[in-house]
Amino acid sequence: MREVVMDTETTGLDPFTGHRIVEIGAIELLNHIPTGNVYHQYINPQRDMPEEAFNVHGLSEEFLASKPVFADIAQDFLKFIDDGILIIHNAPFDMKFLNAEFSWIEVEQLPMERVIDTLMLARKRYPMGPNSLDALCRRYGIDNSKRDKHGALLDSELLADVYMELIGGRQTVLGLTSEPQQAARTVEVGQKARANLRPTPLPSRLSQLEIEAHNEMIAGLGDKALWRNTGNG
């Protein structure tokens, strides 16, 4: 199963009031394991950078002026995500911006059906919150000390760790098994073993003389002989 954990940074909160995407970061997971394949792109928003947004991500208008516009990177981004499941924290926000950008260049929009929103996962597990990315990193002991400002690629890396915790994927990756899974497996193995029992046990191959000789030998070992306790193991 291929998943793409991703994040965006923007100039503001609403694309329909003139705000744009300025950074996209994404990392690839195969069967919940990072492959090392990443996508990272700064984007020229072709507008000024509000102070509030700059304080969040630190990307200035001057820095972004030399970067490509969204239309120039759209196909590379789509090629990277391909048909993977998108893992996004507060997905409606990022998807609103992505689909607005796609609509402006007349590219087919991404359906929400292919998205897993980790904020929704967190709210179901921890209804009392808090469920921000920083709060979830603290909850799970994930090192986010480098996150002095938001950054799309760093946030994607942190989110991948958070996502694994939310779905229990770390145990899967480490080869661990939960108690219910282990119990189910034990029951299954026991059922198979019982199914393979012979309806009629085979007769003993020992003669009566051999059995009597064996019992005599055991008696000579004393009352504390280990063989006397084999039936209690």
Contact assessment for residue 40 and residue 27, using Cβ atoms and an 8 Å cutoff: no
**Considering 57, 89, 150, 214, which one is annotated as catalytic?**
150
Question: DSSP characters for the chain?
Answer: -EEEEEEEEESSS-GGGT--EEEEEEEEEETTEEEEEEEEEE---SS---HHHHHHH---HHHHTTSPPHHHHHHHHHHHHTTPEEEETTHHHHHHHHHHHHHHTT-PPPPGGGEEEHHHHHHHH-TT---SHHHHHHHHT---TT-SS--HHHHHHHHHHHHHHHHTHHHHHHT---HHHHHHHHHHHHHHHHHTS-SSPPPP-S-HHHHHHHHHHHHTT-TT-GGGGGGG-
How, if at all, do strands 85-88 and 33-42 pair? Answer: unpaired
The yes-or-no answer on residue 150 being catalytic is: yes
Q: Which residues are catalytic?
A: 150
